[in-house]
Amino acid sequence: MADDSRRNKTMENIANYINGEMVAPASGEYLDNVDPARGEVYSRVPDSDERDIDKAVAAARQAFPEWSKTPSAQRTKIMLRIADLLEQRIDEFARAECIDNGKPISLARTLDIPRAVANTRFFATSITHFATEAHPIDDTAINYTLRNPRGVAGIISPWNLPLYLFTWKISPALATGNTVVAKPSEITPMTAYMYSRLCIEAGLPPGVLNVVHGQGAKTGAALVAHRDVPTVSFTGGTRTGQSIAIATAPRFKKVSLEMGGKNPNIVFADANLEQALAGSVRASFANQGQVCLCGSRLFVEQSIHDRFLDRFVAMTRKLNVGDPLEDGTDQGAVVSRQHLEKIKGYVELAKQEGGQVLCGGKSPDLINDRCKDGHFFEPTVITGLNTACRVNREEIFGPVVCVIPFKDEQQVIEYANSTDYGLSASIWTNDISRAHRVAANLQSGTVWINAWMIRDLRVPFGGMKSSGVGREGGLESLRFFTEPKNVCVNI
Ligand code: NAD
């Protein structure tokens, strides 16, 4: 990694949060952290290794007995303090998320950071409503279930919704009395670092949450394989999920994997077209298409296909690709140079596979001087590809959508289910029976009807097939982070 001493004097070094303190990595080495809108290094991320993970896990183990026995009302109180502090600093965190990730500031301000506040609050309070089951056997015996925290939870989060997903995973772990070692994405570490400082300010006891920054294959791999980490919750790509499944299997760890998607967005001819168009534009391009739930395959019923497509392309062309720090920007930068190259590669592949690019397909002309070296890509609509080609089977995770006509319900169900993924789907129709029928037949962890990405923190969330193992959200998260034990009493 580039390391010029003149630049390092002015550049912020992100610190690990271990045992209640902000500390440098054992190696003293740092990775560059790039602002994708400018294409420039602006801070440095600890390049942590096994030694830092060992220290963090030891701190978390030491903190576990006391934290797990701390009355739940007290855990709630501390977590609510963190949420309040975060809420007071939404603008500061939103700006940091925007610079770190390239997403439009309006999105960070209205979605990412408010959701991080909501995650922290939701799980802080959910523990006060959490009850366990009892199973009486007539009047001879009664079973009751205890649910105890499992120890140190290892948590790994991705770069697309950095603080949003980081808090989605650490909050239920902490609320249920586990202690945590978390590794945020090395591509977007800033807000997890800022959150660590809030935890100190809020009085979270040392060792309860530890945040160790670094590379996946080194820091992340050391965390998930650690013998004293019995629980692993991961959100990220399917290939990484596979390697985590392999690394955790020999120790029979409890593992939750939330992974990639290639989600169908299905528009029937009887849909409210205005609603379907607006929803499909959002589903295709929100966060530059870098949401695991984005509808990257847009299926449109044949009888309205051409009319729908014309309007969809016209609406896509109107999206303002701009400086993420400006309020009017709809589409910011994609997260990195490497990711931009991947997206471009898929557009080239689409052409080789016989697709036509109806709009976008390239980086935009100069946005402004500040962003002249940024990683931008225009929202792109492709047609003419069948469902079997690579572009329609592999996750691109960028502002690229393929539009595919279908003739009837049966055919679109087959098309929708034709990938290895099964994360989410949207159906746009005014036929209520059809909506339920299609929803029941889609291989998908979440189905929205006449909607996209309405998220309720109580519902089970996760994927089927290569999109995930297990569910999180609401009670599912509380159950995941606890160990059930049945106690049977002979009356
Ligand atoms: P990624 O898999 O490359 O990285 C995710 C995290 O895993 C990072 O913190 C990374 O450092 C870490 N990591 C990498 N290799 C590791 C290893 N061998 N052991 C342990 N940790 C390792 O994913 P990404 O590129 O950061 O994120 C994009 C992906 O995440 C997309 O596939 C997207 O669909 C998926 N995603 C899924 C959901 C969901 O809820 N299902 C949500 C958001 C993103």
Question: How does pLDDT run across 397-414, given as a tens digit for each residue?
Answer: 999 999 999 999 999 999
296-317: buried (b, 16+ CB within 10 Å) or exposed (e) per residue?
bbbbbbeebbeebbebbbebbe
Identify the residue whose C-alpha is closest to ligand 1 atom 3. 237
* pLDDT of 6 above 80: no
Tokens encoding 430: 């005014």
* Amino acid present at 246: I
The pair of three-digit structure tokens given for residue 417, joined into one six-digit string: 């289910």
487 lines ligand 1 (CB under 6 A): no
Contact criterion met (CB below 8 Å) for 143 and 486: yes
SS3 content of the chain, % helix, strand, coil (to 5): 40, 20, 35
Over the stretch 138-178, which tens digit does the pLDDT of each residue have? 999 999 999 999 999 999 999 999 999 999 999 999 999 99
Q: What would the pLDDT profile of 278-318 be if each residue is shown by its tens digit?
A: 999 999 999 999 999 999 999 999 999 999 999 999 999 99
Ligand 1 contacts CB of residue 158 (under 6 A): yes
Asked if residues 85 and 124 have their Cβ atoms less than 8 Å apart, the reply is: no
Residue 12 annotated among the catalytic residues of the structure: no
Q: Which of 262, 287, 292 gets mutated to test ligand 1 (max ligand atoms within 8 A of its CB)?
A: 292
What residues contact 252, with CB distance under 8 A and at least 6 apart? none
Q: Is the pLDDT of residue 7 over 60?
A: no
List the catalytic residue out of 98, 199, 292, 294: 292
pLDDT for 42 equals 98
pLDDT in tens, 149-160: 999 999 999 999
Q: What mean pLDDT is predicted for residues 309-335?
A: 98
Q: Is the CB of 312 under 6 A from ligand 1?
A: no
Collapsing DSSP to helix, strand or coil, 221 comes out as helix
- Rounded CA-CA distance 259/242 in Å is 10
Judge if the beta carbon of residue 463 lies within 6 A of ligand 1. Answer: yes
Ligand 1 mutation pick, 169, 191, 235, 466, max ligand atoms within 8 A of CB: 235
**Ligand 1 contact via 224 beta carbon (within 6 Å):** yes
For the chain, which domains are there? Answer: 5-259+467-490 (3.40.605.10), 264-456 (3.40.309.10)
Ligand 1 pocket residue status of 217, Cβ below 6 Å? yes
Q: Is the CB of 243 under 6 A from ligand 1?
A: yes
CA of 33 relative to ligand 1 center, distance in Å: 17
**4 pLDDT above the threshold of 60:** no
Active site residue 258: yes
Q: Which atom of ligand 1 is nearest to the CA of 239?
A: 2
pLDDT at 463: 98
Q: Which tokens hold the place of 466?
A: 């290569």
**Whole-number Cα distances in Å, 37 to 94, 360, 379:** 15, 18, 16
What pLDDT does 3 receive? Answer: 46
pLDDT at 362 over 50: yes
Ligand 1 centroid–CA 257 distance in Å is 10
How far does residue 407's CA lie from ligand 1's centre (Å)?
36
How many CB atoms neighbour CB 490 within 10 A? 7
From atom 26 of ligand 1, which residue's Cα is the shortest distance away?
158
SS3 248: helix
Instruction: Please identify, by atom number, the ligand 1 atom nearest to the C-alpha of residue 240.
Output: 2
Site to probe by mutation for ligand 1, drawn from 47, 240, 465 as the one with most ligand atoms within 8 Å of Cβ, is 240
- Per-residue pLDDT for 319 more than 50? yes
CA end-to-end distance (rounded Å), the chain: 67
CA 343–ligand 1 middle distance (angstroms): 17
Taking the C-alpha atoms of residue 278 and residue 264, their distance in angstroms, rounded to an integer, is: 16
